[in-house]
């Protein structure tokens, strides 16, 4: 069953979930982390919600997607996240795209593209590479302006403080 009819805006049904991911991005912003948020939805319910925690954990792998994938796997009791949809405010990087493939996440919805590290559409297409054992359906551009603006605001603030 489709989430929307062929006559509806295909981005619209995803707004509700992306707003939750944006709330996670705002939490990251407030903690001084790059403001990226991610949630994982399974059977119409959020089963994981996370934001970047690289600074807090001193862990280069603590991207929002990675933390959310770990939470969802724990919730489901399986590393296979079949039937799940990942919503993330920024296009996943190569590390996160690889984890998406490994976790068998069938659908990825992201907000804004990542011109420096995007691995779903922009620089690479890891999640759709037919040479890999799993591919994901990917849709970008959901609330893209909101997702882009929080990143721009964060980096403008960091530059004003003489950081990043």
R_g (Cα) of the chain, nearest Å? 15
d(CA 116, CA 94) in angstroms, rounded, equals: 11
> Which of 24, 33, 65, 91 is the catalytic position?
65
Active site residue 65: yes
By the 8 A CB rule, do 67 and 25 touch?
no
124 Cβ contact partners less than 8 Å away, ≥ 6 residues apart: 94, 97, 118
Q: Which residues pair with 112 in a beta bridge?
A: 90
Q: Which residues are catalytic?
A: 65
């Amino acid at each position: 069953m489709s989430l929307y009819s062929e006559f509806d805006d295909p981005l619209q049904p995803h707004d509700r979930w992306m707003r939750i991911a944006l709330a996670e991005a705002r939490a990251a912003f407030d903690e001084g982390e790059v403001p990226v948020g991610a949630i994982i939805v399974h059977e119409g319910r959020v089963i994981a919600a996370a934001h970047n925690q690289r600074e807090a954990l001193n862990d280069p792998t603590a991207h929002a997607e990675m933390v959310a994938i770990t939470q969802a796997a724990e919730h489901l009791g399986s590393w296979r996240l079949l039937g799940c949809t990942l919503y993330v405010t920024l296009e996943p990087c190569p590390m996160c795209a690889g984890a998406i493939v490994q976790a068998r996440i069938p659908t990825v919805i992201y907000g804004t593209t990542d011109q420096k590290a995007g691995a779903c559409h922009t620089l690479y297409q890891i999640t759709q590479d037919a040479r890999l054992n799993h591919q994901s359906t990917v849709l970008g551009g959901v609330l893209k302006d909101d997702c882009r603006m929080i990143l721009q605001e964060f980096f403008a603030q960091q530059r004003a403080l003489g950081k990043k």
